[in-house]
């Protein structure tokens, strides 16, 4: 199992957000995490990354438990998050943002070539390479955030609502990128509100509601139940 998460009970402030949540991903699997606003999707991804602590439970990456590691040491274990609302380094240039994705790596030989490689994957960023990233459009910033995560060379890529607040055209670009990464065999966990796009991409689907996992199954089943209104999402 590439990523195995079990029994998370994360609190944020006085509120318990997760009530014993778990999920698992095989290598090269693309899994969608669906659920309404406030269900705990971001909290779950943040707990996997160590931004929030869970007093119980495990986060196992490729067989080793990383649940007690501080956040800044988890990326070097092979898991990278594209955070909600992108969280790029706005005062740094697009190129610097990409370069810093590799910050945790000891071996940074050929970094410049890797950055050029990212500009080939995301040609729209190339003309902005020397601009402060805060001036990029929402779609461009999202591509930059994904590129930064890929620069970390993760085994598992987590994405938190990459289509949030983007123009339809940019949403399409994001999903095209994710389809391409899937084709290259990347293991992906995608939290989304854009249900149709996520169902089309995913191999398997979880639904999180009020901090509990209420569904696990194929995109077909999930789509069916969602259409009937059983899952209260979408």
Partner 1 sequence: MATLLQLVLAGIGMGSVYALVAIGFSLIYKVTGVINFAQGEFAMIGSMSFWLLQSHGIPLVPALVVAVAIAAAVGAAIGRFVMYPAAQASVLTLIFITLGLDTALRGLGTLVWGVNPVAVQAFSGNGVLHVLGAVVPTQNLWIFGAVVIVAALLYFLLERTYFGQGMTAAMDNPTAARLYGMNPLRFGLYAWVLAAAIGAFGGVVFAPMTMANTNMGLELGLYGFVGAILGGLDSLPGAAVGGIALGIVTSLSAGYISSDWADGVAFAVLLIMLLVRPQGILGTSLNRRV
Burial (CB count <10 Å: 0-12, 13-18, 19+), residue 121:
middle
Least distance in Å: CB of 155 to partner 1? 15
Position among 4, 62, 96, 216 found at the interface with partner 1 (CB under 8 A):
96
Contact between 91 and partner 1 by CB under 8 A: the answer reads yes
Q: What is the Cα–Cα distance from 105 to 114, expressed in whole angstroms?
A: 13
Asked whether position 150 contacts partner 1 by CB under 8 A, the answer is no
Candidate residues 64, 72, 180, 227; the one interacting with partner 1 per rule CB under 8 A: 72
Residue ranges in 158-217 that form contacts with partner 1 under rule CB under 8 A: none
H or E, element range at 64: strand 64-65
Q: At what angle do helices 111-121 and 138-151 cross, to 10 degrees?
A: 140
Residues 47-66 contacting partner 1, CB under 8 A = 49-51
Q: Does 22 bind partner 1 (CB under 8 A)?
A: no
Q: Given candidates 21, 94, 99, 199, which one binds partner 1 under the rule CB under 8 A?
A: 99
Rounded (5°) CA angle 5-150-170: 100
What does the binding site for partner 1 look like in residue numbers (CB under 8 A)?
49-51, 70-73, 75-76, 80-81, 83, 87-92, 96, 99-101, 103-105, 108, 148, 152
């Amino acid at each position: 199992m590439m990523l195995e998460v079990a029994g998370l009970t994360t609190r944020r402030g006085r509120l318990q957000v997760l009530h014993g949540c778990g999920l698992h991903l095989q290598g090269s699997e693309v899994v969608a995490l669906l659920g309404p606003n406030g269900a705990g999707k971001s909290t779950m991804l943040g707990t996997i990354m160590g931004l929030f602590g869970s007093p119980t439970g495990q986060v196992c990456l490729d067989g080793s438990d990383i649940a007690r590691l501080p956040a800044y040491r988890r990326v070097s274990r092979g898991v990278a998050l594209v955070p909600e609302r992108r969280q790029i380094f706005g005062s740094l240039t697009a190129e610097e943002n990409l370069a810093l994705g590799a910050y945790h790596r000891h071996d940074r030989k050929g970094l410049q070539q890797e950055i050029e490689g990212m500009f080939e994957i995301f040609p729209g960023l190339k003309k902005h390479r020397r601009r402060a990233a805060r001036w990029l459009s929402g779609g461009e910033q999202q591509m930059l955030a994904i590129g930064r995560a890929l620069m970390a060379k993760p085994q598992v890529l987590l994405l938190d609502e990459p289509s949030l607040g983007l123009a339809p055209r940019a949403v399409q670009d994001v999903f095209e990128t994710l389809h391409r990464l899937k084709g290259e065999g990347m293991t992906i966990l995608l939290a989304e509100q854009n249900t149709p796009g996520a169902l089309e991409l995913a191999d398997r689907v979880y639904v999180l509601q009020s901090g509990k996992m209420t569904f696990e199954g194929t995109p077909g089943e999930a789509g069916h139940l969602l259409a009937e209104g059983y899952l209260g999402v979408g």
